[in-house]
Chain A
Amino acid sequence: GENVEQHPSTLSVQEGDSAVIKCTYSDSASNYFPWYKQELGKRPQLIIDIRSNVGEKKDQRIAVTLNKTAKHFSLHITETQPEDSAVYFCAASMGNTDKLIFGTGTRLQVFP
């Protein structure tokens, strides 16, 4: 069935270190993979996205990589800062309807 698994559920890093969050998806027809950041009590905000015809995309300290063969994609945050602390959600589009299936979230804590 339609499923997106996300790991880890919590991640604690020291300021300046890197953080990596991984997701796997089940639908081989998925072609769009966004990442959302949700701060406590706030709306999810799109931070980066990638389409299936691209293997990697970078935006300043944030990068996403996609392995279509293995059906997994990852979010990489370098030089983490306390303001990066939030819950991060990955998502994958389901090929036939384009609806997004979200992962269960990763709570990232960056300690000063």
Chain B
Amino acid sequence: DAGVTQSPTHLIKTRGQQVTLRCSPISGHKSVSWYQQVLGQGPQFIFQYYEKEERGRGNFPDRFSARQFPNYSSELNVNALLLGDSALYLCASSRTATNEKLFFGSGTQLSVL
């Protein structure tokens, strides 16, 4: 079985642009969470979606938004990019609505110039 897949793997944008990151969960997993990982730090929670409903949101500005599709895949959108948005964006999936037994994807490395 395929693990959590994310695309693209790398992305370079300039300040003010918008970006969309994509995630496909493990088959059978209905929960998708998004995390931001800055170099040298632990992942920071951005969003969780379960059964297409937002279940949790971290301390991120409204420039960050996400959605989950009927096939449980998910997109993370970031508008008006800032230099500080440069990070590794990780998607994780799990079977249940809780954040237990999270399986992470390899991430999208976003660089904002």
Interface size class of A (residues with CB under 8 A): 20 to 34
In chain A, residues 1-27, which have Cβ atoms closer than 8 Å to a Cβ of chain B?
4, 6
CA distance A106 to B40 in the complex (A): 10
1/0 per residue, CB under 8 A from A, across B55-95: the answer is: 11010000000000000000000000000000000100000
Which residues of chain A have C-beta atoms less than 8 A from B55's C-beta? 97-98
Task: Check A82 for interface membership: any CB of B closer than 8 A.
Answer: no
CA distance A91 to B103 in the complex (A): 14
Which residues of chain B have C-beta atoms less than 8 A from A81's C-beta? none
Majority DSSP secondary structure for residues of A touching B: strand
Closest chain A residue to B102, Cβ basis? A46
Task: Check A45 for interface membership: any CB of B closer than 8 A.
Answer: yes
Which residues of chain A have C-beta atoms less than 8 A from B35's C-beta? 102
Asked if B43 contacts A43 (CB within 8 A), the reply is no
Residues in B lying within 8 Å of A, measured CB to CB: 4, 33, 35, 40-45, 48, 55-56, 58, 90, 97-107
- Extra contacts besides A99-B33, A99-B48 (14): CB < 8 Å: A4-B42, A32-B99, A32-B100, A34-B101, A44-B43, A45-B104, A46-B102, A89-B42, A97-B55, A98-B48, A98-B97, A100-B45, A102-B42, A104-B42
Residues in A lying within 8 Å of B, measured CB to CB: 4, 6, 32, 34, 36, 42-46, 49, 89, 91, 93, 97-105
